[in-house]
């Protein structure tokens, strides 16, 4: 934890700018397309605040963003899938958190970048299959999402791949996914504890994330969701690559 604290002390302006930009961009993408917050924020914050503190901060902000997005889409909640996804995700948080604590900073940073990168690659090739989603596959998606949420802060790819493969309608996926993300992030954060980052910076990051969500809500009717998703994936891919390179060099 010490390296992250030193970073906060030595370059507060640079750190604050990176954290706020990642939080705002992630919140904006999450509101527009139903995913993007963890893909953008996790590798970006891992670079800015160090992998352990960055992932914990991503978990904290993910709770706020997911609940804010859910507030605008609650009517589309798929209760049947939520009753399977949420418990499975909470079970997945346990092994993910163990891996989070066991991995040193360098390997964890590589893991954050790799999880994001592999998730993005899987999203690019995922295609609908002529199959009815079953409770077992739904639970597997929730479990995988819980693991990656805890270890790398990014639980979205597993659920998005499941949604694409099973033809889950976007409104239901967007609403139900938020509940899954929020519960997983809350469980992971409850075990890890709050990151040792100044409260003022955490508060500003929360405000930036909510500002991104609010801005996207106002502009949603003017923005093509497909274009927004591609932009989010591009930003996330760059952040993931830089995170992996930094982890390897360290």
Q: What is the largest CA-CA distance in the chain?
A: 55
Which residues touch 85 (CB under 8 Å, ≥6 apart)?
138, 139, 141, 142, 145, 159, 176, 179, 180
- pLDDT for res 131: 58
- pLDDT for res 183: 96
Mean pLDDT (whole number) for 85-103: 95
The mean of the pLDDT values for the chain is 83
- pLDDT for res 2: 41
- pLDDT for res 136: 92
What is the SS3 string spanning the chain?
CHHHHHHHHHCHHHHHHHHHHHHHHHHHHHHHHCCCHHHHHHHHHHHHHCHHHHHHHHHHHHHHHHHHHHHHHHHHCCHHHHHHHHHHHHHHHHHHHHHHHHCCHHHHHHHHHHHHHHHHHHHHHCCCCCCCCCHHHHHHHHHHHHHHHHHHCCCHHHHHHHHHHHCCCHHHHHHHHHHHHHHHHHHHHHHHCCCCCCHHHHHHHHHHHHHHHHHHHHHHHHCCHHHHHHHHHHHHHHHHHHHHHHHHHC
- pLDDT for res 127: 65
What is the pLDDT confidence band of residue 210, given thresholds at 50, 70 and 90? very high
Q: Both ends of the chain: CA-CA distance in Å?
A: 15
- pTM reported for the whole predicted model: 0.82
Percentage of the chain exceeding pLDDT 70: 86
User: How is the chain split into domains, by residue range?
Assistant: 9-249
Six-digit token pair at 140?
Answer: 């597997």
pLDDT digits (tens, 9 = 90+) for 138-177: 999 999 999 999 998 888 888 888 888 888 888 898 899 9
| Alpha-carbon gap, residue 242 to 73, rounded angstroms | 33
Q: Given a cut of 80, is residue 52 above it in pLDDT?
A: yes
What is the pLDDT confidence band of residue 123, given thresholds at 50, 70 and 90? low
- pLDDT for res 10: 45
- pLDDT for res 9: 42
- pLDDT for res 157: 81
In the numeric block, the tokens 């750190």 are attached to: 15
Q: Do residues 181 and 38 lie in contact, with contact meaning Cβ atoms separated by under 8 Å? A: yes
**Residue among 205, 189, 153 nearest 22 (CA):** 205
- pLDDT for res 76: 93
Mean pLDDT (whole number) for 29-45: 79
Q: Do residues 248 and 105 lie in contact, with contact meaning Cβ atoms separated by under 8 Å? A: no
Six-digit token pair at 143?
Answer: 């479990």
How distant, in Å, are the alpha carbons of 165, 174, 219 from that of 82? 17, 12, 28
pLDDT digits (tens, 9 = 90+) for 59-71: 999 999 999 889 8
**Residue among 198, 192, 232 nearest 56 (CA):** 192
């Amino acid at each position: 934890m010490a390296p992250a604290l030193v970073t906060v002390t030595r370059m507060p302006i640079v750190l604050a700018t990176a954290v706020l930009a990642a939080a705002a961009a992630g919140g904006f993408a999450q509101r527009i397309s139903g995913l993007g917050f963890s893909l953008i924020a996790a590798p970006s914050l891992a670079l800015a605040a160090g992998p352990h503190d960055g992932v914990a901060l991503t978990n904290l902000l993910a709770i706020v963003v997911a609940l804010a997005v859910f507030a605008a889409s609650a009517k589309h909640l798929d209760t049947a899938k939520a009753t399977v996804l949420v418990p499975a995700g909470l079970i997945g948080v346990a092994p993910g958190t163990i891996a989070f604590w066991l991995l040193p900073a360098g390997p964890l940073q590589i893991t954050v970048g790799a999880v994001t990168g592999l998730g993005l690659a899987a999203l690019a090739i995922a295609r609908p299959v002529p199959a009815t989603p079953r409770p077992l596959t739904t639970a597997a998606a929730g479990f995988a999402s819980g693991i990656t949420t805890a270890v790398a802060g990014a639980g979205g790819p597993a659920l998005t791949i499941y949604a694409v493969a099973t033809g889950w309608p976007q409104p239901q996926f967007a609403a139900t996914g938020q509940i899954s993300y929020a519960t997983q992030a809350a469980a992971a954060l409850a075990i890890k504890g709050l990151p040792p980052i100044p409260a003022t910076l955490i508060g500003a990051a929360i405000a930036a994330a909510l500002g991104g969500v609010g801005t996207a809500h106002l502009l949603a009717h003017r923005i093509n969701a497909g274009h927004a998703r591609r932009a989010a994936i591009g930003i996330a891919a760059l952040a993931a690559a830089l995170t992996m390179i930094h982890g390897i060099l360290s």
